Amino acid sequence: MSRLSEIARCPAAHKRSVGPHQFRRIGDYVLAVDDAGRFVFLSPSEYRDFLKGLKPDSPLREKLGHAGLLRDAFDFDDAAQCSAERGLLAWPGTSVHVIRLEKYGSRDVMDLGTARKVVDFVFTVPGPCVNLRLCAELTKQTWGLVWFIVQYARRKGEWHKRPVAFTWMGQSAPSVEQAEFLAAHKVDLRTEMWLSGKPKKGLVPMGVRRATALVQAPANQAAAWVDCLAEAGVESVLLATPPSDTGAFLEFYAAAIDRMLQLQGRLEIREERALGLLSGRRWLLPGHDLLSELCYAPDGGIYSSELALVMAGDGKDLLKLGQVGSTRYEDLAKSPAVRAVLAASLSENQPMCSQCAYRAFCAIPPSESLAAQGTLWGRHPSSERCSLHMAILDILFARLARTESAEALRAWMS
């Protein structure tokens, strides 16, 4: 269940003084957040004083006014700038293009003609950088595809003067020759792994800098696992929970974040979900349909995310947006699926989200709601992802509330 916090004996808000905001109790503090995601931490007594209406000489006025919480001292320029930077209208275009080179559970692979069309389509999508994630196990056939896509996209990047970044995601280790090619073309290696029990040396394949880690290890092993990943050269990790084990995962997550903050300056390792959530930009959240990710099937189908493609394999292709070669990028806006995904991504319209303190930071990918609950909108009061995001944001904001860890966390985010 989602949890919205309450403060006992909260006075009614002073209508002329208190600006629109949401609040949440975090440890000894009350977090107050405005619509644009500007926030302050107050003690419960300060928060009550604020609700009752601050006196003109109150020392809290400056702190609260800067966060946009005082109606009579509202900084419209700052609020507008903050909204413009974080709102959907500042979306720079899809940041990650996931290209699935082989079908799930079969040996059917993309053909070279389709691969060319996919790259051509990707280069019509606006955005500061073209970020391609190639997903496949390395076989002779898929290696030919990886080789072509990297070379072709690199050339297109030069022709169109756009930076291109590559990630290859798979379990099989590349040969020496393949590893040399990938290194020469700055292809980041990403792997998926299970963290269970104590860390084992050699778990992270050579050259892997990014990882998705499914956590089954106890919290007291979190620091050891973070050290293990960082020492193996992993710079960016997405910590994920296997279904039905969220409580243990969160203990691990909190300990892992603390260790990552401690390691700063010696070994750099960051957690992707934390960075995405704290940025307040929905398009930086890993796996968010269309906003952060588009996915291409081996047959050239365009899907709103990788999860949408996985669901299509089970016969649910609601989130298929088109076909490379026949769909133009500008046609996507007319697609009913895109409109539905967009509507479901607006948290202002969502029950619970509309009154949540974390509304400016959080979003749940519609494909995930569809997969878990059968509805694109999601029923957030009973959504596991909602509970997970709230708990993770509690962990992160608890660290932002304390001066010493706040500085480390801000440096880590930058």
Partner 1 sequence: MIRYKLSKPPYTKESLRLSALSVGDRAEVFLDEGKDHFIVELKPVGKIKESELKVLAGEFLNEALTCLYRQELIRFAPELSQATAAQFLEKGFPATPPDPLEQLEPQVRIDRNRDTEELLAAARNLIR
* CA-wise closest residue to 37 among 84, 94, 4: 84
Binding partner 1 (rule: CB under 8 A), the pick from 381, 410, 411, 413 is 381
Minimum distance between the CB of residue 22 and partner 1, rounded to whole angstroms? 14
Q: Would you count residue 373 as binding partner 1 (CB under 8 A)?
A: yes
SS3 290: coil
Minimum distance between the CB of residue 152 and partner 1, rounded to whole angstroms? 6
Q: Would you count residue 144 as binding partner 1 (CB under 8 A)?
A: yes
Complex with partner 1: residue 372 or 398, whichever CB lies closer:
372
Strand order in the sheet with 320-323: 270-271, 236-240, 208-215, 187-195, 164-169, 130-135, 96-100, 293-296, 301-303, 320-323
Binding partner 1 (rule: CB under 8 A), the pick from 224, 346, 371, 372 is 346
Q: Would you count residue 124 as binding partner 1 (CB under 8 A)?
A: yes
- Amino acid identity, residue 149? I
Minimum distance between the CB of residue 290 and partner 1, rounded to whole angstroms? 9
Q: Would you count residue 160 as binding partner 1 (CB under 8 A)?
A: yes
Minimum distance between the CB of residue 73 and partner 1, rounded to whole angstroms? 23
Dist. CA 39–CA 79, nearest whole Å: 12
Residues 56-115 that bind partner 1 (CB under 8 A): 87-89, 91, 93, 112
Question: What does the per-residue mask of binding to partner 1 show for 40-59, with x meaning CB under 8 A?
Answer: --------------------
CB neighbour list of residue 242: distance below 8 Å, 6 or more residues apart: 214, 215, 216, 249
Cross-strand partners of 320: 303
Minimum distance between the CB of residue 175 and partner 1, rounded to whole angstroms? 13
Q: Which residues of 342-359 are buried (b: 16+ CB within 10 A; e: fewer)?
A: eebbebeebebbeebbbb
- For the record, the structure tokens of 117 come out as 């069309």
Complex with partner 1: residue 130 or 409, whichever CB lies closer:
130
Binding partner 1 (rule: CB under 8 A), the pick from 84, 339, 411, 413 is 339
Helix/strand/coil percent split, the chain, to 5: 45, 15, 40
Q: Would you count residue 148 as binding partner 1 (CB under 8 A)?
A: yes
Q: Would you count residue 374 as binding partner 1 (CB under 8 A)?
A: yes
Q: Would you count residue 172 as binding partner 1 (CB under 8 A)?
A: no
Q: Would you count residue 145 as binding partner 1 (CB under 8 A)?
A: yes
Q: Using H for helix, E for strand and C for coil, what is the string for 102-141?
A: ECCCCCCECCHHHHHHHHHHHCCCCCCCEEEEEECCCCHH
Dist. CA 96–CA 299, nearest whole Å: 19
- For the record, the structure tokens of 285 come out as 């959240």
Q: Would you count residue 184 as binding partner 1 (CB under 8 A)?
A: no
Minimum distance between the CB of residue 350 and partner 1, rounded to whole angstroms? 7
What φ, ψ does residue 167 adopt, rounded to 5°?
-135, 135
- Any idea what DSSP says for residue 217? S
Minimum distance between the CB of residue 323 and partner 1, rounded to whole angstroms? 16
Binding partner 1 (rule: CB under 8 A), the pick from 103, 185, 379, 402 is 379
Minimum distance between the CB of residue 155 and partner 1, rounded to whole angstroms? 7
Kind of pairing between the strands at 208-215 and 187-195 = parallel
Question: In this structure, how many other beta carbons lie within 10 angstroms of the beta carbon of residue 183?
Answer: 12
What φ, ψ does residue 256 adopt, rounded to 5°?
-65, -40
Minimum distance between the CB of residue 304 and partner 1, rounded to whole angstroms? 14
Q: Would you count residue 348 as binding partner 1 (CB under 8 A)?
A: yes
Complex with partner 1: residue 12 or 333, whichever CB lies closer:
333
Residues 298-337 that bind partner 1 (CB under 8 A): 316, 328-330, 332-333
- For the record, the structure tokens of 72 come out as 């009579």
Judged by the rule CB under 8 A, the positions of this chain that interact with partner 1 are: 87-89, 91, 93, 112, 116, 123-126, 140-141, 143-145, 147-148, 151-152, 155, 159-160, 162, 316, 328-330, 332-333, 338-339, 342-343, 346, 348-351, 354, 373-375, 377, 379-382
